[in-house]
Amino acid sequence: MATDAAARMPEASAFSEQGALTRAMTDLAGPALGRPPRGWWICFAVAVSALAVGVVAVTYQLRTGIGTWGLNRSVGWAYDITNFVFWIGVGHAGTLISAILLLFRQRWRAGVSRAAETMTIIAIVCAAIFPVIHLGRPWLMWWVLPLPNTRGPLWVNFSSPLTWDVFAILTYFVVSLLFWYLGLLPDFASLSHAATGWRRRVFGWLSLGWNGSLRTWTRYERTCLLLAGLATALVISVHSVVSFDFAASLVPGWHTTIFPPYFVVGAIFSGMAMVLALLVVMRRAMALQAYVTLQQLDALCKIMLATSGLLGLAYLIETLTALYGNHGPDRFMLMLRMQGPLAAYYWAMIACNVLVPQLLWSGTVRRNLPLVFAIALLALAGMWLERFLIIVGSLQRDFLPSSWVDYLPTRVEVATLVGSFGLFLVCFLLFCRWLPVVSIAESRARHRTRLQVVDR
């Protein structure tokens, strides 16, 4: 009987390959099966407090109404859409790492892909909060879907970029979730093996009966490649569609064809910054130096540097188009950004997104993790400022000088943003607590490759 066979297994660490397999298991499955360290509890307490602030704020604004926001007759989109675009952008790095780098056979992505994919899914949820609240009556949210109804049936307007947004983001969420869950399947089986008690049963249920059959593995790899190809096209389309919300309008500073690539590059840049910030802390806190290596962080830094360069190019092209195009309102908007009431934001954005990341040209900087962490946080701040500048900057100076007004966020809006960060961190910490933050199966496969190289 095979049960006896399992009992008669020799000591695993007797062989080098075996030892590595087991070690990957203990290192990566450990946090999911044990008790979290004190540092985790401190982080979790902070995150839950931030989330509580957000819950109070959201409850208040749902009971009272959107009048609690600082929006006015000209600036009808401000903090909420800024945060929405910001969070959706942050999510993009996960798909880039898991899909595009998989297609390019970048083995090093194994250490960072799980955390990045998780980040994507949580970021989409965080992003969705803002437009849903902005609806005013969130319980009618399903009206954005073309469902048969007793109102006519009245359908959604398929010519509206806002409707495209709904489809793009829902598709993005579903495909990201599918990709993430498929990646977790073998790990759930491993966890179920290593765990005892109720965890064993729950992880077993989640593993869908994964048994490591090579026939399944072959199909699995094919499925992952197909999904990666789809997700690559998807990730480009999602932020392009988000940018159509602006580009398809006539507002100066929005109505420009550079927006889709500009938004996608910015999204990847901010996403890389978020991944780096999370990983630098996570690998230290969870002792994952052997799995999330300096080389991997180095590669992420280089992607961030490249996207920063592309972003700088986009800023330059935007400026050139406004100057060369000789279109009054466009030029006015450019001058307004550089010299108007939000000029400080503009130059801070240039510094955070284009100038500071140039430090990453230096290998010394890329290996200095506290510095990388700081650069990543600045990049996140810079990308947030960029969206704020695009949205509020353009709306508060319309074609009609009579509708020029200024916008200031209210405390309720700031609290909602704090709450979204709280939600993000709570979900991410729970992920660190309950699931292997680095793919066990991929780490083993990677280790196998390294052994083979050594053998030769």
Q: Are the C-beta atoms of residues 73 and 398 closer than 8 Å to each other?
A: no
Site for other proteins contains 403 (CB under 8 A): no
36, 52, 106, 204: residue in contact with other proteins (rule CB under 8 A)? 204
φ and ψ of 75, to 5 deg: -95, 85
Residue 145 interacts with other proteins (CB under 8 A)? Answer: no
- Pick the stretch among 144-152, 277-285, 349-357, 390-398 that binds other proteins (CB under 8 A): 144-152
Cα(380)–Cα(274) distance, rounded to whole angstroms? 7
Which structure tokens are listed for 186?
A: 């073998």
Toward other proteins, which CB reaches closer, 106 or 163?
163
CB of 448 to other proteins, least distance (A): 6
142 interacts with other proteins by CB under 8 A: no
Rg (CA), the chain: 24
Among 71, 123, 125, residue whose Cα is nearest residue 391: 71
List Cβ<8 Å contacts ≥24 apart for 70-75. 70/407, 70/408, 70/409, 70/410, 70/413, 71/407, 72/405, 72/407, 73/403, 73/405, 74/395, 74/396, 74/398, 74/403, 74/404, 74/405, 75/392, 75/395, 75/396, 75/405, 75/407
Of 68, 223, 368, 410, the one binding other proteins (CB under 8 A) is 223
Q: Determine if 5 is a binding residue for other proteins (CB under 8 A).
A: yes
Using CB under 8 A, which of 30, 45, 107, 201 touches other proteins? 201
- The single-letter DSSP state of residue 10 is P
Of these, 69, 79, 86, 164, which contacts other proteins (CB under 8 A)?
164
Pick the closer one to other proteins by CB: 164 or 269. Answer: 164
Nearer CB in complex with other proteins: 17/406: 17
Distance CA 225, CA 241 (A): 24
> Which is nearer to other proteins, 43 or 175 (by Cβ)?
175
Minimum CB separation of residue 171 from other proteins in Å reads: 4
Q: Which stretch binds other proteins (CB under 8 A): 76-84, 228-236, 267-275, 378-386?
A: 228-236
Residue from 38, 105, 139, 456 touching other proteins (CB under 8 A): that is 139
Q: Does 147 bind other proteins (CB under 8 A)?
A: no
What number of chain residues touch other proteins (CB under 8 A)?
Answer: 83
Q: Work out which of 157, 257, 326, 402 binds other proteins, going by CB under 8 A.
A: 157
Residues numbered 77 to 136 that lie near other proteins (CB under 8 A) are 136
Kindly tell me which residue out of 104, 155, 399, 404 binds other proteins, with binding defined by CB under 8 A. 155
The correct pick among 87, 180, 220, 246 for binding other proteins (CB under 8 A) is 220
Q: Which residue intervals of 248-368 are DSSP H helices?
A: 259-285, 294-325, 328-339, 343-350, 363-367
Alpha carbon 68 to chain centroid distance? 28
Q: How far apart are CA 10 and CA 1, in angstroms?
A: 16
Largest CA distance in the chain: 85
Distance separating alpha carbons of residues 400 and 150, to the nearest angstrom: 40
Residue 213 or 362: the one with the smaller Cβ distance to other proteins is 213
Distance CA 116, CA 106 (A): 15
Indicate the residue among 28 and 350 with the shorter CB distance to other proteins: 28
Residue in 50, 99, 121, 168 binding other proteins, rule: CB under 8 A? 168
* Near other proteins by CB under 8 A: residue from 93, 100, 189, 415: 189
Q: Which of residues 436-455 bind other proteins (CB under 8 A)?
A: 440-442, 444-445, 448
Residue 234 vs 414, nearer CB to other proteins: 234
Decide if 330 contacts 252 (C-beta within 8 A). yes
The single residue among 47, 127, 241, 415 that binds other proteins, judged by CB under 8 A, is: 241
340 to each of 194, 318, 335, how far by Cα in Å?
A: 61, 17, 7
267 touches other proteins (CB under 8 A)? no
Instruction: Give SS3 for 399.
Output: coil
Looking at beta carbons only, is 157 or 326 nearer to other proteins?
157
Q: How far is the CB of 220 from other proteins (least distance, A)?
A: 7
Instruction: Report the alpha-carbon distance of residue 268 to residue 90 in Å, rounded.
Output: 7
- Determine the interface stretch with other proteins among 179-187, 264-272, 312-320, 394-402 (rule: CB under 8 A): 179-187
Please state, in angstroms and rounded to a whole number, the distance separating the CA atoms of residues 435 and 438.
Answer: 9
Residues 23-82 that bind other proteins (CB under 8 A): 25, 65
